Amino acid sequence: MTYNKSTTIAIIGAGASGTACFLQLVLKHIVRKPANHLRLIIFEKRTKFGEGLAFGTGQEGHLLNTKAGLMGIFPHERMHFVQWMHENQDLIARKHPQVSVHPDAFPPRMLFGEYVQDMFATHRQLAEQHGIKVDLVSSEVVDGKVGRDNKITLITDNDESFQADYSILATGNPASNSFTKLLKQPNFFPSPWPSSRLLKHIKNKKARVSIVGSSLTAIDALITLIDNGHEGPISFFSLKGLLPRVQSPVEIPYQRRILTLANVRKSIREKAKPLRLTDLIRMFRQEAESHLEKKLNWVAEEREHRDQLALLEEDIALATGKQCLLQNILYSLREETYPIWRLLPVDQKLLFLKWIKPYFDINRHAMPIENAIKIQKVLQSGQLKIIGNTDDIVWKAGRFILTTDDGTSNEADYVVNASGPTVVVEEMIDQPLLPKLLKRGYIEQHPAGGICADLESLRVCHAKRKSPSPYYVIGHQLAGLQLDINALWFNVEQADILTDDLLKNIS
Ligand SMILES: Cc1cc2nc3c(=O)[nH]c(=O)nc-3n(C[C@H](O)[C@H](O)[C@H](O)COP(=O)(O)OP(=O)(O)OC[C@H]3O[C@@H](n4cnc5c(N)ncnc54)[C@H](O)[C@@H]3O)c2cc1C
């Protein structure tokens, strides 16, 4: 086929989000047969295309935190990963013999990474068969200038430059922005990734290791160490000292009657006022109490300053027995979280992030039971301690001193920062592209984190720029606007919206 025009789309980052966009661009271009020739350039700074940070961990013990039946890489085909596992039973029997291919299972994340890489490779071939040119560039994009003609020039870390008509920012999770004063210390790890770095440097299996944070990422760091024979004391050192709750092996459907999108919209309409966070908290409490047909003692539900082992044991019992109602309510909100989040004004979003998110996260991003049992064991044996109410760490005389609010000091030979990725663009020091784009005025920081974009198209927007941006964005950089960016199924559906809009420009 001969074309009059050619369009180049660059995808920056080939993790799950970038790959989901790639698959959609290829499939839609083939199906819609537009008049333009398509060239795709995909940039990835890791060695492999298609696995990304979460699914390229290299550790069998790092499990999906989401059941397999939600993990399809194609929009609205959530079972596709499970189907792929069924079709690849030989590979699973050979490489991951313990893995269940059930939709409710939580397989290793590296197996999911193999699936995404497989889809990447298959669709690369398909693209070439249909005349779509696909160039893979194994470099980091460090700058992206926009010319007067609105075309982009992308510059890589080895000083190569590439022209594109559009570019998708799919750069994923940056490192944490906390404890930057410790970056120069050789025994400080700014992030638990890659796991191989922890294992390479912490050679002394009896060393004292402090992991900053106590969320799913901290649990991954712990599992990296104990699965590889670490015997020394480990502590989770965090502001709140809260562990994620435990997911039931089978998700229990819950029919919400009060905290629904319809009721949220009704409340805005009847009060003729914007939604407030307190409206949502009230509805959540009413939802739980109406289900239980009694008032709940909400103070007794608080989990800070309590014995985390006792709480974990209660949570394991709930997950395998009579279930946790509060968790079931939040899991049942999966499809409505984002539309409700969009209705919250910015000041209320900020209140949520400051006061509610840690409690929302431990319930909504709970750990699989397999991990809960591992943590129970190391808490029981005393190898793991959870220390809350602290963010004070200094390096002194060859070891770290970690001090809690009450003045108690703890020592560690190594500190691993697992306190979660920053959402402040200027502080994304390990992703120099984004601060650069901010400085050039191409992107704008959203007050609740990440950058501003039009949510109907995922096209980057900037209050001061008139011409439509040639940049699109997906994933972590939309943390403030979308909240749910930690869920693959969500990002995959966003890839559908993004690629629909992008391809409209060239049809
Ligand atoms: C530890 C962890 C566990 C998770 N577990 C789950 C789970 O079980 N289920 C679930 O649904 N979600 C999970 N998530 C969320 C998951 O990250 C998202 O669902 C989704 O996979 C994010 O993919 P991504 O492509 O946006 O980001 P990433 O996976 O971070 O990929 C971004 C890619 O871009 C590359 N890159 C970045 N900047 C550049 C640049 N300038 N030039 C070139 N390349 C660049 C990076 O090397 C990386 O490969 C988890 C997240 C983490 C961090």
User: What would the pLDDT profile of 456-481 be if each residue is shown by its tens digit?
Assistant: 999 999 988 889 999 999 999 999 99
Instruction: For residues 11 and 140, state if they share a domain.
Output: yes
Determine the pLDDT at residue 2. 62
Write the CATH number for 227.
Answer: 3.50.50.60
Q: Is residue 250 part of a domain?
A: no
- What residue numbers bound the domain in which 295 lies? 261-364
In angstroms, the CA 300 to CA 289 distance is: 14
* Model confidence, pTM: 0.96
Instruction: For residues 147 and 15, state if they share a domain.
Output: yes
pLDDT band at 239 (very low <50, low <70, confident <90, very high): confident
Length of the chain (residues): 507
Closest atom of ligand 1 to 63 CA is: 8
Instruction: For residues 144 and 29, state if they share a domain.
Output: yes
Instruction: For residues 128 and 55, state if they share a domain.
Output: yes
Q: Per-residue pLDDT for 315 more than 90?
A: yes
Instruction: For residues 374 and 354, state if they share a domain.
Output: no
Instruction: For residues 227 and 337, state if they share a domain.
Output: no
Q: Is residue 1 part of a domain?
A: no
Q: Is residue 56 part of a domain?
A: yes
- Residue 167 Cα, ligand 1 centroid: separation in angstroms? 18
Q: Is residue 252 part of a domain?
A: no
Q: Is residue 253 part of a domain?
A: no
Closest atom of ligand 1 to 139 CA is: 43
Instruction: For residues 113 and 222, state if they share a domain.
Output: no
CB atoms within 10 A of CB 498: 25
Of 364, 384, 401, which one is at a domain's C-terminal end?
Answer: 364
Q: Is residue 251 part of a domain?
A: no
Q: Token pair of 61, please? A: 């013990």
Q: What is the DSSP letter of 127?
A: H
Q: Is residue 455 part of a domain?
A: yes
- Residue 330 Cα, ligand 1 centroid: separation in angstroms? 23
- Residue 362 Cα, ligand 1 centroid: separation in angstroms? 20
Task: Output the average pLDDT for the chain.
Answer: 95
Q: Per-residue pLDDT for 99 more than 90?
A: yes
Determine the pLDDT at residue 146. 97
Distances in whole angstroms, Cα of residue 507 to Cα of each of 124, 141, 418:
21, 27, 44
Question: Which three-class secondary structure state does DSSP give residue 345?
Answer: coil
Distances in whole angstroms, Cα of residue 31 to Cα of each of 27, 120, 126, 130:
6, 18, 12, 10
Of 356, 391, 417, which one is at a domain's C-terminal end?
Answer: 417
Determine the pLDDT at residue 273. 97
- The three-point CA angle 310-312-317 to 5° equals 95
Hey, whose CA ends up nearest to atom 52 of ligand 1? 54
Decide if 202 contacts 224 (C-beta within 8 A): no
Instruction: For residues 481 and 358, state if they share a domain.
Output: no
In angstroms, the CA 117 to CA 97 distance is: 20
Report the domain count for the chain.
3
Closest atom of ligand 1 to 474 CA is: 26
Per DSSP, the residues of 359-417 read: HHHHHHSPBPHHHHHHHHHHHHHTSEEEE-S--EEEEETTEEEEE-TTS-EEEESEEEE
Q: Per-residue pLDDT for 1 more than 70?
A: no
User: What would the pLDDT profile of 419-470 be if each residue is shown by its tens digit?
Assistant: 999 999 999 989 999 999 999 999 999 999 999 999 999 999 998 888 999 9
Instruction: For residues 218 and 270, state if they share a domain.
Output: no
- Residue 53 Cα, ligand 1 centroid: separation in angstroms? 5
- Residue 417 Cα, ligand 1 centroid: separation in angstroms? 18
Instruction: For residues 400 and 433, state if they share a domain.
Output: no
Hey, whose CA ends up nearest to atom 15 of ligand 1? 486
Instruction: For residues 204 and 303, state if they share a domain.
Output: no
- Residue 294 Cα, ligand 1 centroid: separation in angstroms? 42
Of 141, 173, 494, the residue with max ligand 1 atoms within 8 A of its CB, to mutate for a pocket test, comes to 173
Of 11, 12, 17, the residue with max ligand 1 atoms within 8 A of its CB, to mutate for a pocket test, comes to 17
- Residue 77 Cα, ligand 1 centroid: separation in angstroms? 20
User: What would the pLDDT profile of 205-231 be if each residue is shown by its tens digit?
Assistant: 999 999 999 999 999 999 999 999 999
Q: Per-residue pLDDT for 48 more than 90?
A: yes
User: What would the pLDDT profile of 340-356 be if each residue is shown by its tens digit?
Assistant: 999 999 999 999 999 99
Instruction: For residues 83 and 230, state if they share a domain.
Output: no
Of 339, 364, 389, which one is at a domain's C-terminal end?
Answer: 364
Within 6 A (CB) of ligand 1 lie 12-18, 43-46, 52-54, 64-66, 109, 140-141, 170-173, 217, 220, 431, 433, 475-476, 486-488, 491
Q: Is residue 168 part of a domain?
A: yes
Q: Per-residue pLDDT for 406 more than 90?
A: no
